[in-house]
Amino acid sequence: MSKTKVAIIGSGNIGTDLMIKVMRTSENLEMGAMVGIDPESDGLARARRFGFQTTHEGVDGLIALPGFDQIGIVFDATSAKAHQANAAKLQPLGKRLIDLTPAAIGPYVIPAVNIEGHLDAPNVNMVTCGGQATIPIVAAISRVVPVAYAEIVASIASRSAGPGTRANIDEFTETTSKAIVEVGGARRGKAIIVLNPAEPPLIMRDTVFTLVDSAGPATHDEIRRSVEKMVADVAAYVPGYRLKQKVQITEIPADQPVETLLATNGERPTHQVSVFLEVEGAAHYLPAYAGNLDIMTSAALQMAEQIAAQEATK
Protein backbone atom coordinates (compact mmCIF):
# COMPACT_ATOMS: atom_id res chain seq x y z
CA MET A 1 0.00 0.00 0.00
CA SER A 2 1.37 3.41 -0.96
CA LYS A 3 1.95 5.88 1.83
CA THR A 4 0.62 9.43 2.10
CA LYS A 5 3.30 12.10 1.77
CA VAL A 6 3.34 14.77 4.47
CA ALA A 7 4.94 18.16 4.95
CA ILE A 8 5.77 19.75 8.28
CA ILE A 9 5.71 23.51 8.69
CA GLY A 10 7.86 24.51 11.63
CA SER A 11 11.40 23.20 11.99
CA GLY A 12 11.64 23.68 15.76
CA ASN A 13 11.41 21.05 18.47
CA ILE A 14 7.85 19.95 17.75
CA GLY A 15 8.28 19.79 13.99
CA THR A 16 11.59 17.92 14.27
CA ASP A 17 10.17 15.39 16.74
CA LEU A 18 7.21 14.86 14.45
CA MET A 19 9.51 14.27 11.47
CA ILE A 20 11.40 11.57 13.35
CA LYS A 21 8.16 9.94 14.49
CA VAL A 22 6.97 9.78 10.88
CA MET A 23 10.27 8.20 9.87
CA ARG A 24 10.51 5.66 12.68
CA THR A 25 6.97 4.71 13.60
CA SER A 26 4.48 5.55 10.87
CA GLU A 27 2.64 2.84 8.97
CA ASN A 28 0.76 5.05 6.51
CA LEU A 29 2.86 8.20 6.15
CA GLU A 30 6.15 9.25 4.59
CA MET A 31 8.05 12.51 4.81
CA GLY A 32 7.76 14.83 1.85
CA ALA A 33 9.16 18.16 3.05
CA MET A 34 10.31 20.11 6.09
CA VAL A 35 9.51 23.83 6.12
CA GLY A 36 11.01 26.58 8.26
CA ILE A 37 12.05 30.21 8.22
CA ASP A 38 15.53 29.89 9.72
CA PRO A 39 17.99 28.36 7.23
CA GLU A 40 20.31 27.41 10.11
CA SER A 41 17.70 25.58 12.20
CA ASP A 42 18.55 22.10 13.47
CA GLY A 43 15.30 20.75 12.07
CA LEU A 44 16.06 21.80 8.52
CA ALA A 45 19.63 20.56 8.82
CA ARG A 46 18.46 17.14 9.99
CA ALA A 47 15.84 16.94 7.24
CA ARG A 48 18.49 17.68 4.62
CA ARG A 49 20.75 14.97 6.06
CA PHE A 50 17.87 12.51 5.84
CA GLY A 51 17.40 13.43 2.17
CA PHE A 52 14.06 15.23 2.46
CA GLN A 53 13.11 18.37 0.58
CA THR A 54 13.46 21.52 2.67
CA THR A 55 12.78 25.23 2.40
CA HIS A 56 13.46 28.14 4.73
CA GLU A 57 10.94 30.34 2.89
CA GLY A 58 7.87 29.30 4.85
CA VAL A 59 4.62 28.20 3.29
CA ASP A 60 5.37 30.04 0.03
CA GLY A 61 8.56 28.03 -0.29
CA LEU A 62 6.60 24.83 0.35
CA ILE A 63 4.13 25.62 -2.42
CA ALA A 64 7.03 26.26 -4.81
CA LEU A 65 8.79 22.95 -4.07
CA PRO A 66 8.90 20.28 -6.80
CA GLY A 67 6.49 17.52 -5.83
CA PHE A 68 4.24 19.79 -3.77
CA ASP A 69 1.24 18.29 -5.58
CA GLN A 70 2.09 14.88 -4.14
CA ILE A 71 1.80 16.05 -0.54
CA GLY A 72 -1.53 15.06 0.97
CA ILE A 73 -1.28 16.19 4.59
CA VAL A 74 0.43 19.24 6.07
CA PHE A 75 1.25 19.52 9.77
CA ASP A 76 1.52 23.07 11.08
CA ALA A 77 3.78 23.37 14.13
CA THR A 78 4.30 27.14 14.07
CA SER A 79 2.09 29.56 16.03
CA ALA A 80 -1.59 30.46 16.17
CA LYS A 81 -1.10 33.63 14.12
CA ALA A 82 1.11 31.93 11.54
CA HIS A 83 -1.36 29.07 11.10
CA GLN A 84 -4.11 31.48 10.11
CA ALA A 85 -1.95 32.75 7.23
CA ASN A 86 -0.76 29.25 6.30
CA ALA A 87 -4.28 27.83 6.23
CA ALA A 88 -5.49 30.66 4.00
CA LYS A 89 -2.87 29.67 1.40
CA LEU A 90 -3.00 25.87 1.67
CA GLN A 91 -6.67 25.00 2.08
CA PRO A 92 -7.67 26.38 -1.35
CA LEU A 93 -5.02 24.05 -2.80
CA GLY A 94 -6.78 21.02 -1.34
CA LYS A 95 -4.26 20.15 1.37
CA ARG A 96 -5.45 18.46 4.57
CA LEU A 97 -4.18 20.46 7.54
CA ILE A 98 -3.36 19.21 11.03
CA ASP A 99 -2.92 22.22 13.28
CA LEU A 100 -0.65 21.84 16.33
CA THR A 101 -1.12 25.49 17.32
CA PRO A 102 -3.95 26.97 19.40
CA ALA A 103 -5.40 28.72 16.33
CA ALA A 104 -8.47 26.45 16.38
CA ILE A 105 -9.67 27.20 12.86
CA GLY A 106 -10.91 23.65 12.46
CA PRO A 107 -12.68 21.36 14.94
CA TYR A 108 -10.92 20.26 18.11
CA VAL A 109 -9.66 16.67 17.97
CA ILE A 110 -8.58 14.48 20.86
CA PRO A 111 -7.85 11.11 19.17
CA ALA A 112 -9.02 8.92 22.07
CA VAL A 113 -12.30 10.85 22.26
CA ASN A 114 -13.57 12.08 18.90
CA ILE A 115 -11.23 11.21 16.04
CA GLU A 116 -13.84 9.25 14.09
CA GLY A 117 -16.07 12.27 13.67
CA HIS A 118 -13.44 14.45 11.99
CA LEU A 119 -11.52 12.25 9.56
CA ASP A 120 -12.99 14.19 6.62
CA ALA A 121 -12.40 17.69 8.04
CA PRO A 122 -10.06 19.82 5.88
CA ASN A 123 -8.40 21.39 8.92
CA VAL A 124 -8.33 19.87 12.41
CA ASN A 125 -6.97 21.41 15.59
CA MET A 126 -5.05 19.33 18.12
CA VAL A 127 -6.00 21.75 20.94
CA THR A 128 -2.93 21.99 23.24
CA CYS A 129 -0.58 19.70 25.11
CA GLY A 130 -2.59 20.20 28.29
CA GLY A 131 -5.79 19.54 26.40
CA GLN A 132 -4.48 16.32 24.88
CA ALA A 133 -3.47 15.10 28.34
CA THR A 134 -6.53 16.11 30.35
CA ILE A 135 -9.61 16.36 28.14
CA PRO A 136 -9.76 12.57 27.66
CA ILE A 137 -10.19 12.29 31.44
CA VAL A 138 -12.99 14.87 31.50
CA ALA A 139 -14.68 12.96 28.67
CA ALA A 140 -14.26 9.67 30.54
CA ILE A 141 -16.01 11.12 33.58
CA SER A 142 -18.74 12.88 31.60
CA ARG A 143 -19.74 9.65 29.84
CA VAL A 144 -20.70 8.32 33.28
CA VAL A 145 -22.13 11.39 35.04
CA PRO A 146 -22.76 15.02 34.09
CA VAL A 147 -19.73 17.24 34.78
CA ALA A 148 -20.81 20.62 36.11
CA TYR A 149 -17.28 22.03 36.18
CA ALA A 150 -13.84 20.82 35.07
CA GLU A 151 -10.52 22.46 35.83
CA ILE A 152 -7.17 21.27 34.51
CA VAL A 153 -3.67 22.24 35.55
CA ALA A 154 -0.83 21.35 33.19
CA SER A 155 2.63 21.61 34.74
CA ILE A 156 5.49 21.40 32.25
CA ALA A 157 9.24 21.85 32.47
CA SER A 158 10.15 25.44 31.70
CA ARG A 159 12.98 24.19 29.54
CA SER A 160 10.48 22.39 27.27
CA ALA A 161 8.47 25.56 26.63
CA GLY A 162 9.90 27.14 23.50
CA PRO A 163 9.15 30.54 21.96
CA GLY A 164 5.95 29.29 20.33
CA THR A 165 4.51 28.00 23.60
CA ARG A 166 5.46 31.16 25.47
CA ALA A 167 3.99 33.40 22.78
CA ASN A 168 0.68 31.51 22.88
CA ILE A 169 -0.02 31.27 26.62
CA ASP A 170 -3.30 33.19 26.33
CA GLU A 171 -4.39 31.10 23.36
CA PHE A 172 -3.41 27.96 25.30
CA THR A 173 -5.77 28.73 28.18
CA GLU A 174 -8.62 29.93 25.96
CA THR A 175 -8.44 27.03 23.50
CA THR A 176 -8.08 24.40 26.22
CA SER A 177 -10.96 25.84 28.24
CA LYS A 178 -13.26 25.78 25.23
CA ALA A 179 -12.28 22.23 24.31
CA ILE A 180 -12.93 21.04 27.89
CA VAL A 181 -16.55 21.97 27.21
CA GLU A 182 -16.88 21.09 23.52
CA VAL A 183 -14.96 17.79 23.57
CA GLY A 184 -14.76 16.88 27.23
CA GLY A 185 -18.45 17.44 27.86
CA ALA A 186 -18.13 19.64 30.94
CA ARG A 187 -20.68 22.39 31.38
CA ARG A 188 -17.93 24.85 32.33
CA GLY A 189 -14.16 24.54 31.99
CA LYS A 190 -10.98 26.26 33.09
CA ALA A 191 -7.35 25.65 32.10
CA ILE A 192 -4.14 26.65 33.86
CA ILE A 193 -0.57 26.13 32.65
CA VAL A 194 2.47 26.17 34.94
CA LEU A 195 6.01 26.49 33.59
CA ASN A 196 8.09 24.73 36.24
CA PRO A 197 11.68 26.05 36.42
CA ALA A 198 12.97 23.10 38.49
CA GLU A 199 16.37 21.64 37.60
CA PRO A 200 16.76 18.93 36.58
CA PRO A 201 13.55 19.38 34.57
CA LEU A 202 10.48 17.50 35.77
CA ILE A 203 8.30 15.25 33.64
CA MET A 204 4.94 16.74 32.63
CA ARG A 205 2.30 16.46 35.34
CA ASP A 206 -1.41 17.12 34.84
CA THR A 207 -4.22 17.44 37.34
CA VAL A 208 -7.92 17.18 36.52
CA PHE A 209 -10.56 18.36 39.00
CA THR A 210 -14.22 17.87 38.17
CA LEU A 211 -17.41 18.60 40.09
CA VAL A 212 -20.12 16.02 39.49
CA ASP A 213 -23.45 14.79 40.80
CA SER A 214 -22.56 11.22 41.73
CA ALA A 215 -25.18 8.97 43.33
CA GLY A 216 -23.08 6.48 45.28
CA PRO A 217 -20.35 3.82 45.43
CA ALA A 218 -21.51 1.94 42.33
CA THR A 219 -21.29 5.13 40.25
CA HIS A 220 -17.90 5.93 41.77
CA ASP A 221 -16.60 2.55 40.67
CA GLU A 222 -17.97 3.17 37.18
CA ILE A 223 -16.16 6.52 37.03
CA ARG A 224 -12.88 4.89 38.05
CA ARG A 225 -13.26 2.15 35.42
CA SER A 226 -14.08 4.72 32.74
CA VAL A 227 -11.00 6.80 33.60
CA GLU A 228 -8.73 3.74 33.66
CA LYS A 229 -10.01 2.63 30.26
CA MET A 230 -9.45 6.09 28.82
CA VAL A 231 -5.89 6.17 30.17
CA ALA A 232 -5.24 2.87 28.38
CA ASP A 233 -6.76 4.27 25.16
CA VAL A 234 -4.48 7.33 25.22
CA ALA A 235 -1.44 5.23 26.19
CA ALA A 236 -1.98 3.18 23.02
CA TYR A 237 -0.52 6.11 21.03
CA VAL A 238 1.28 7.95 23.88
CA PRO A 239 3.11 5.15 25.74
CA GLY A 240 4.36 7.45 28.51
CA TYR A 241 0.83 8.49 29.53
CA ARG A 242 -0.21 7.12 32.93
CA LEU A 243 -2.09 7.65 36.18
CA LYS A 244 0.09 8.76 39.08
CA GLN A 245 -2.33 7.45 41.71
CA LYS A 246 -5.83 6.05 42.03
CA VAL A 247 -8.76 8.24 41.06
CA GLN A 248 -9.97 10.17 44.09
CA ILE A 249 -13.69 10.84 44.64
CA THR A 250 -14.66 12.93 47.66
CA GLU A 251 -17.93 14.38 48.88
CA ILE A 252 -18.26 18.16 48.68
CA PRO A 253 -19.01 19.55 52.17
CA ALA A 254 -22.32 21.35 52.44
CA ASP A 255 -20.58 24.56 53.58
CA GLN A 256 -18.01 24.59 50.75
CA PRO A 257 -18.83 27.40 48.29
CA VAL A 258 -18.78 26.17 44.70
CA GLU A 259 -21.48 28.34 43.16
CA THR A 260 -19.03 30.70 41.45
CA LEU A 261 -17.66 27.76 39.45
CA LEU A 262 -21.02 26.63 38.12
CA ALA A 263 -23.07 27.69 35.14
CA THR A 264 -26.10 29.86 35.79
CA ASN A 265 -28.95 27.85 37.33
CA GLY A 266 -26.74 24.79 37.59
CA GLU A 267 -27.58 22.26 40.28
CA ARG A 268 -25.09 21.94 43.12
CA PRO A 269 -22.76 18.97 42.52
CA THR A 270 -22.25 16.37 45.24
CA HIS A 271 -18.69 15.12 44.66
CA GLN A 272 -15.27 16.16 43.43
CA VAL A 273 -13.30 13.78 41.20
CA SER A 274 -9.53 14.31 41.20
CA VAL A 275 -7.23 12.65 38.68
CA PHE A 276 -3.44 12.97 38.68
CA LEU A 277 -1.48 12.16 35.53
CA GLU A 278 2.08 11.98 34.28
CA VAL A 279 3.24 12.16 30.66
CA GLU A 280 6.75 10.95 29.86
CA GLY A 281 8.06 11.60 26.38
CA ALA A 282 9.23 8.84 24.04
CA ALA A 283 12.55 10.70 23.55
CA HIS A 284 12.56 10.26 19.77
CA TYR A 285 14.13 13.72 19.45
CA LEU A 286 13.07 15.59 22.56
CA PRO A 287 14.17 14.64 26.09
CA ALA A 288 11.87 12.37 28.08
CA TYR A 289 10.79 15.20 30.39
CA ALA A 290 9.18 16.99 27.42
CA GLY A 291 6.02 14.91 27.57
CA ASN A 292 4.02 18.05 26.77
CA LEU A 293 5.55 18.18 23.31
CA ASP A 294 5.54 14.41 22.82
CA ILE A 295 1.81 14.10 23.46
CA MET A 296 1.10 16.78 20.85
CA THR A 297 3.22 15.15 18.15
CA SER A 298 1.87 11.69 19.04
CA ALA A 299 -1.74 12.90 18.83
CA ALA A 300 -1.11 14.69 15.52
CA LEU A 301 0.57 11.59 14.12
CA GLN A 302 -2.38 9.43 15.20
CA MET A 303 -4.74 11.83 13.43
CA ALA A 304 -2.72 11.72 10.22
CA GLU A 305 -2.39 7.93 10.35
CA GLN A 306 -6.16 7.54 10.54
CA ILE A 307 -6.78 10.05 7.74
CA ALA A 308 -4.27 8.25 5.50
CA ALA A 309 -5.72 4.84 6.34
CA GLN A 310 -9.22 6.02 5.46
CA GLU A 311 -8.07 7.61 2.20
CA ALA A 312 -6.36 4.37 1.22
CA THR A 313 -9.68 2.52 1.34
CA LYS A 314 -11.49 4.93 -0.97
Q: How many CB atoms lie within 10 A of CB 182?
A: 16
Q: Evaluate whether 231 touches 244 at the Cβ level (below 8 Å).
A: no
What's the rounded Cα separation, in Å, for the pair 274 and 283? Answer: 28
Distances (CA, A) of 99 to 61, 83, 288: 19, 7, 23
Helices (H), the chain: 13-25, 42-50, 58-64, 80-90, 111-114, 129-142, 163-167, 169-182, 217-235, 291-312
Give the distance between the most distant pair of CA atoms in the chain: 67
Residue 166, SS3?
Answer: helix
Which is catalytic among the residues 129, 144, 290, 295? 129
What's the rounded Cα separation, in Å, for the pair 210 and 271? Answer: 8
Burial of 13 (0-12, 13-18, 19+ CB in 10 A): buried
Distance of CA 196 to the CA centre of its chain: 19
Q: How many CB atoms lie within 10 A of CB 172?
A: 24
Distance of CA 126 to the CA centre of its chain: 5
Closest Cα to residue 59, out of 47, 71, 42?
Answer: 71
304 is catalytic: no
Catalytic positions, please? 129
